[in-house]
Structure formats: C-alpha cells, structure tokens
Structure 1
Amino acid sequence: NLDELNPEYVLKHIHDNLIVSVEGAIYYVGAYALSSGQRCRSITVGVDNDKVSSDIVYVNTLAHIAGEAVAACYRESGAVPDTGDAIKVHVDMATAIPVSYYTKAKAAAFAEKFMHKQHKVTVYVGAKEYVVFIQFDFVKAIPEGVTAAHAFMHRPTLIHQPENLSAGKFKTLRVLHIAIGEGTTEFPITTGISFRPDFIMGSHNGNGHAIERVLAPFKRDFGLQSLTRQDFSRYLRDAAHKYHDAAISYFMPALEDEAEEILTMAEQVISRANNEVDVVAVYGGGSILMREALEKRLMAFCMRAKIELAYIDDPSDAVFLEAEGLNAFINSPLFQLLGDKARSGEKG
C-alpha cells in the first residue's frame, strides 16, 4: 500500500524504491521490482541482447533520472517537496553500447531515442506523485571498452601502470579488454582511448549463461515453485543465504565452461593481433565469480606472449569501472567539445 510508505525514507533511498509512469504505463524499477514479488522483465541473455532498441534500457534510464531529480529537490530543501509544480530537468548524458554491436549509425540512433523529444515521467513517492519533464540536450554513445579506457587514463594503476603515466605514453598503450557481463563478453582492443574497429569481437558468454543452465535442476532438486535468474544470482552473492553453498556447487562447473570459452576467444584475438598487445584487462560484474576459473590460465597465456595481465582486484572497481570511465569522459574537455559541436550543428 503506497499510502503507508514514508516519503522521506523513499526519497533518501529513491533508486531502491522506484515506481514510475512512462508513456502511460506504470513500472517498478530495479531493486523495487525484484523485491515486489511480481514477474520481472530483464535484459535477455543471448543473441537478443539489443540494448539500443530495448525498452528496459530506455525506461530504466528515464526512471533513475526522474527519481534523482525528485530526490535532489528533497535534499536541497530538506523537506518533502510539494507535488504542485512539475520538475524540469536538462540532461547531458554519456552512455555506451556493446562494442560488437557498435556502429556510428546505431550510436546516433540510440542518442536520438532520448534527444528527439521531451520526456514526461511521473515518480510515485508513497501517495505523492511528482511529474518530471526531462530534456536531453546532448547524448553521446560510445563503445563499451572505450569507457573503460577513459577510466584507465584517469587511474592507470588499475592496469598496473605508473600513477603518473603521461598522456603521451597512455596514447600508445594497447589494451585488450575482456569485459565479462551477465550475458555477453566483449573483447575490444583500444590504443589510448581509441578502439580498433577491426577488433570489436564479442561472445555470448557470462554468468547469466551458466545460471540459465543450472536453474531448472536447482529448482527441481530444492522444490522451488519459481526461481528467476536474479534470485539465483542473489543466492550466489549472499554468503549467509541458506541456498548459497548449494548454488555455488551447481554454478561453478557451468561457470568453468564459460571461462573456457572466454579464454579461447581471448587467445584467438591476441593471436589475430600478432601478440601486439601491452595489457590484458579483465573486468565487469561477471569477472568476479569467474576469477578462480579464468585468471591462472589467462596469466599463463599472457606470460608466454609477454603481455601484462590486469585482472581488476576490487569487486567494486570491476563492476563500476565503465561507469567511472563514463564519468571521466563526461567531465573531459573532449565531451565538452563534442557537445559544443553538436549544438552548433557540426558533425563529430
């Protein structure tokens, strides 16, 4: 019952309590959707993982921006905002799409999806309804991998480079990225912050595939009526959960198969590049649980090829690295220049 929710609590934890209306439909978003007991839609694992045309990506983006706008009003005033006046937001946004799917045309289409009109979002905070109008002034979509390259330029120690690495030296650094997600793994090669268009391979590998393979037997063996991929993922993450140990025992053999395929693909990419790679960087949410199955074998290959391996240590860095890179990009002179060009009608 929304009437019983404390508006102040919701506003302080808005991204975990998102209920919005977009284009006439009501959505529970993110953590609130998962805890609602309702059937959830998520990005599919596999060949249909098209983030450019996905309504889930579109709605999630609008919902979080609108929710943050309402929460910002609360933080600035120190009181629950009135619902009378609409909140108007202007947004410059940097985002990324999978490098194996990336083309300039698709990036432009994704940006235009947000920029072509003003968006109206209603945010529900308890019994209160806030109308938020969102105007995207400039959106730039870049390839995943390039996002991480911006993070590495900002924090070169992540990939075992000197903290004071010069811009000139970074510009020549050749990095093979192994970005392991839920359903896809990307293998771009970047030189500095530029990606090589002839090395934009991706594969349908990740934790989600391993989970999909064990979901049915796990459900059957433990007599669970319903079990989603997200539920199983939660068992894996929560060491205190009663199903944690069992979930790990079902999951690891399937994950090792995923790691084997990722290793094979990485070896093929490096061989195709004639070993002309300085660093292999492994990151992404899927890299954390896969570390035990992948790191030693990848290290052995890299040592033979005389390539540095940087398997991102901190789980928080592994998960948020691309977001950190987007943040570095959006605060860079380059983003400002691209925005100025777009606003003046130039192509760039």
Structure 2
Amino acid sequence: MKIIVSADIGNSETKMITRYDGVEGSECFHQPSVIRKLIKSPQIAETNLKKNVINLDENLIAHITSSALNRHSDGLYVIGKKAMQTDLNKVQNMNIKLGNKHKHDIPVIMILAMIARTVVKDEFELNGALESSYQIDCDFVSAIPASEFTFEKAKEFEKRLTKGDHTVVIHLGDKKVMVGINFKKAKITQEGIPAIFAMVYDNEENDDRKVSLLDKFNEVYDEEMEPNDLLKMKIFHVDIGDGTTEYIYTNGVNPVIDACDGERRGVGHATEDAVIMLNEMLQGSFKSSRQSFMEIIKDKTHNLHSEAFNALEAAKGTQANEILEDTFEKIQNKAGNSVDLITVYGGGSIQFREHLEESLRDYAETINSKLLWVPEELAVNLNVRGLDILNRTVFSKNKK
C-alpha cells in the first residue's frame, strides 16, 4: 500500500492531504498541533469498533515508536483534539519563540499519528473490519519556516523520516491496530512557496470551492485577472501563521531565495500575550494553551468569551503593527519595491484582516502595486493545497 501525504505543520494546527497511489480522490483534514504523553493506557469507555473509528479524530490515541524521535520520546500519546480536553498543564505544543521546527518531536508525532489514523479509517470504510497490522509506503512533503529554512535543515528533517522505521499503534477501545510507516521519499521545502502553486491552479484544484481566489480582487480593481496571470507577476507574499509570518518574494512560481525571509510574528504570539493579560485580570486563576484559548474565542457562549476576546484584540494590535513594519521594510530592502502584487493569506490573515488590510492597500497604491487578500475560505488551506500539487506534479516525479 502506498500513500501520498502533504502536511502543513503549523504551530496551531497540522493540516494534511492524503491520497493513495493510483486512486482518485483525496482527503484534507487537520488536528491541533498539541500532544499529551500518557504513562498508562486510558480506561476503555467504548468497545464498539465502528463508533471508535468514526470518532477517531476526537479520540486519537497512539503509541509511537520511531527512530525520528529524540531519546525517551517513544511512548503513548493523546493527539490533537483529545489532548486539549483534560490536564492542560501536561499538554505539549511547539514553542513559537524558539523555532527550529525541524528538530522538534511534536511535528513528527503529529505526522505519524495522522497518517496512521488515515490508514485505519480508510481500511475500515473499505472493508468494514480491521486487521491487526498494516504496512504502508509513503511519499511525503512538508515545509519549514523561511526564517529557519536552509537546505541543510531541510535535509536533516528529511533524513529523520527516511532513515529508519516508524511504528504507530492506534488504540480503538479494546482493539489495537499497528501501522508500520516507511517513508520512501520525503521532501521539505520552504513555507510560503507552495501557496503560489495553489493560487495558479485555483480553478483546477478547487472545483468544490464556493469562492474563487480572484473574485473579490477583480471586483475591487475592476479587472478580469485569471490565476494563470500570476505566472507573469512579481509577487510579495505575506503568509501569517501562528508562530511565524513568512515574507516570500516570487517571480511567477519561482522564489527569489535571497529575498525570502520570515519573522516570529503571528496569532500565537498575540494569543500568548492575551493569555497573560486574562490571567492577570482573573488574579492568576486562568491557565490555557494557545489552542484552548482560541476555542474560547470561537465559543460565544463561553463564560469568559468577552474577556478573552478583548484581551486578544489588544494583543493583536501590537502584532499587526510589527507585521506592517516588516512588510514595508522587506518590500523596500528585499524586493526593491519591484512588486506587482502583494498577497496576504494563512490562518492569521483572518484574525488580522481588520488591523492590516486598509494600511496594506494604501501602501500598495503608493508603490503602484495591488493587494490580493486571499478569501477566508481559501486562506487557511492554501499552503497544504500547494504542497499537495507539488507532491504530485514535481516531487513524486523526481524533479527538482
């Protein structure tokens, strides 16, 4: 069995697209990038296999043994949504201040657990039952931040996956299913670059979309631009994430490597500041991970929603000013103001839109450029869709 996997390993969420070699169709799904290590197996609350498979995304528990993990990191974990439900003081997420994502164990644990989850769910859907073990080959592609990216770091991450064995045991009540994963190929590129491929292939790759990439842009500027027109443009990308914001300069789909950069800005930094503010407001009685805090923001019925929202808005203002200053400085000094289009996307583009859009549109006008703010419906998955396109059309064919 061979699976083709593209993963956007965000500090907030890990987004993944999976395909089977020679089979039409794909699945795009995500999990919060949080884990919690267990010292013993949890109590079995449900023994119905079908229910456990259906609810696997909410109850992802996996024992992971991998040569890619650091010493003493093998073990039993609850992953993603399940990890956020209890014992918040024991939850691990990526330290957005330290960087070096290519060295972390959390991305590897997320990748392995999510691949194994896909195999289990798909096999049960296909056969209505599960074997005790499966072995799969995997072609894998992902990316690390531009602020950290070097070819040496990319190779180091690739070797972590391809050099050894990886075994994941998925817990489904009283049944355990082992999935052996062999990374036949692994390619790590630079965050921000894959998005241009998702933009250029917008019409072909998103037939199920309710909104097109350029609809609003063409309305604002009274144009009839098509995605293929991006191939002829010099584009400055502002990819706002949780822990980093990537500033990528491309000529068509080709990155101008020396002009690509990143900074530790984003929603996660604003969230961490907001958590501190709310904790002070509640006299030290508030504890939360970044991901759990954002769940409060999403839940308007939560008793702390109003306080959390106000704290986050205050913290976002500071981050927005820093992103604006970065953008102005890098367009001037890295791109020499030779920019046809400034485009903004990523999960953070949704949170920061009201803080940034007007200022960036005005700035674009001053340098005789235009602003493409990627629609919310496309912004979050733009990178993982671009990685999927690269995986199928370039990396899987042994092309550079």
The alignment's TM-score, normalised by the length of structure 2, stands at 0.78
More moved, 258-267 vs 10-19? 10-19
More moved, 1-10 vs 285-294? 1-10
Q: What is the correspondence of 1:118-197 to structure 2 with a 5 Å cutoff?
A: 118-155=165-202, 158=213, 160=217, 164-166=226-228, 169-197=229-257
8 Å CA contact retained: 2:99, 2:148: no
Inter-partner Cα distance in structure 1 for 2:147 and 2:239: 12
Determine the structure 2 residue equivalent to 1:219. 279
Q: What amino acid does structure 2 have at the position aligned with 1:3? A: I
8 Å CA contact retained: 1:174, 1:279: yes
Would the alpha carbon gap of residues 290 and 192 (structure 1) be closer, same or farther in structure 2, given more than 3 Å must change?
Answer: same
2:167 counterpart SS class: strand
Query: Alpha-carbon deviation of 1:179?
Result: 0.9
Which structure has the highest helix share of the two?
A: 1
Determine the structure 2 residue equivalent to 1:262. 323
Query: Alpha-carbon deviation of 1:102?
Result: 1.4
Determine the structure 2 residue equivalent to 1:100. 147
Would the alpha carbon gap of residues 177 and 13 (structure 1) be closer, same or farther in structure 2, given more than 3 Å must change?
Answer: farther
Inter-partner Cα distance in structure 1 for 2:82 and 2:252: 39
Indicate yes or no: 2:367 matched with 1:305. yes
Determine the structure 1 residue equivalent to 2:51. 9
Q: What amino acid does structure 2 have at the position aligned with 1:266? A: T
1:31 counterpart SS class: helix
8 Å CA contact retained: 2:202, 2:227: no
Query: Alpha-carbon deviation of 1:238?
Result: 2.2
Q: What amino acid does structure 1 have at the position aligned with 2:170? A: V
Would the alpha carbon gap of residues 14 and 192 (structure 1) be closer, same or farther in structure 2, given more than 3 Å must change?
Answer: farther
Q: What amino acid does structure 1 have at the position aligned with 2:77? A: Y
Inter-partner Cα distance in structure 2 for 1:3 and 1:143: 42
List alignment gaps of at least 5 residues for structure 2: 1-41, 66-73, 204-211, 219-223
Determine the structure 2 residue equivalent to 1:41. 92
Inter-partner Cα distance in structure 2 for 1:302 and 1:138: 41
Determine the structure 2 residue equivalent to 1:207. 267
Percent identity over the alignment is 28
Inter-partner Cα distance in structure 1 for 2:231 and 2:276: 48
1:4 counterpart SS class: coil
8 Å CA contact retained: 1:211, 1:251: yes
Query: Deviations 1:174-204 (Å, cap 9, x if unpaired)?
Result: 2111111112111011122221111122111
Query: Alpha-carbon deviation of 1:300?
Result: 0.8
Would the alpha carbon gap of residues 262 and 165 (structure 1) be closer, same or farther in structure 2, given more than 3 Å must change?
Answer: closer
Query: Alpha-carbon deviation of 1:26?
Result: 0.6
Query: Deviations 1:185-237 (Å, cap 9, x if unpaired)?
Result: 11011122221111122111111112222323312423535222222111122
2:287 counterpart SS class: coil
Indicate yes or no: 2:357 matched with 1:286. no
Q: What amino acid does structure 2 have at the position aligned with 1:248? A: F
Q: What amino acid does structure 1 have at the position aligned with 2:240? A: I
Query: Alpha-carbon deviation of 1:131?
Result: 1.0
Q: What amino acid does structure 2 have at the position aligned with 1:183? A: G
Inter-partner Cα distance in structure 1 for 2:152 and 2:288: 38
Inter-partner Cα distance in structure 2 for 1:153 and 1:163: 11
Would the alpha carbon gap of residues 174 and 142 (structure 1) be closer, same or farther in structure 2, given more than 3 Å must change?
Answer: same
Indicate yes or no: 2:123 matched with 1:73. yes
Inter-partner Cα distance in structure 2 for 1:115 and 1:163: 42
Indicate yes or no: 2:304 matched with 1:243. yes
8 Å CA contact retained: 1:180, 1:206: yes
Inter-partner Cα distance in structure 1 for 2:341 and 2:240: 16
8 Å CA contact retained: 1:93, 1:139: yes
8 Å CA contact retained: 1:120, 1:131: yes
Indicate yes or no: 2:164 matched with 1:117. yes
1:331 counterpart SS class: helix
Inter-partner Cα distance in structure 2 for 1:313 and 1:238: 22
Query: Alpha-carbon deviation of 1:75?
Result: 0.8
List alignment gaps of at least 5 residues for structure 1: 342-347
Indicate yes or no: 2:258 matched with 1:198. yes
Query: Alpha-carbon deviation of 1:164?
Result: 4.8
8 Å CA contact retained: 1:219, 1:227: no
Q: What amino acid does structure 2 have at the position aligned with 1:320? A: N
2:238 counterpart SS class: strand
Query: Alpha-carbon deviation of 1:100?
Result: 2.1
Determine the structure 1 residue equivalent to 2:5. none
1:121 counterpart SS class: strand
User: What is the number of equivalent residue pairs in this alignment?
Assistant: 332
Inter-partner Cα distance in structure 1 for 2:330 and 2:63: 44
Inter-partner Cα distance in structure 2 for 1:240 and 1:228: 19
Q: What is the correspondence of 1:308-319 to structure 2 with a 5 Å cutoff?
A: 308-314=370-376, 316-319=377-380
